[in-house]
Amino acid sequence: MDIILASESKYKKKLLLRILDEFNQIAPHINETPNPGESAPDLAIRLALQKGVTLLENNSDSIIISSDQVAEINGELILKPSSKQQATEQLKKQSGNKVIFYTCLCVTKFGPKKG
């Protein structure tokens, strides 16, 4: 049975190699835009699930490992910066403040086919 890491991250790959000798790595390419009013923990859960389910559509015999992490500061989502300037602004905003990271890990597999 194939195992797929639903990520293109070299860091996640390195972590998974600590416990698994063989697996495939496929980037799910989903829309990571938060829904209006979506909380950081809800966003992390939704994205991790969506990554796994997206890859299951074409890999139904595989086990899919997917994850997501969302940061929050003072109730505001901290999303991936789109530029160096935005990254610098985010770091300045975080400096001296409490930043909370919400992480979700999903292991997804279709059940046996019926009938």
CA–chain centroid gap for 54, Å, is 12
CA distances from residue 46 to 33, 51, 62 in whole angstroms, order as listed: 11, 9, 20
Measured from the Cβ of residue 43, the count of other Cβ atoms closer than 10 Å reads 22
CA separation for the pair 94, 50 (Å, rounded): 28
Question: Are 17 and 36 contacting, i.e. CB atoms less than 8 angstroms apart?
Answer: no
Give the residue numbers marked as catalytic.
Answer: 68
Percent composition of the chain: helix, strand, coil (DSSP 3-state, to 5) = 30, 25, 45
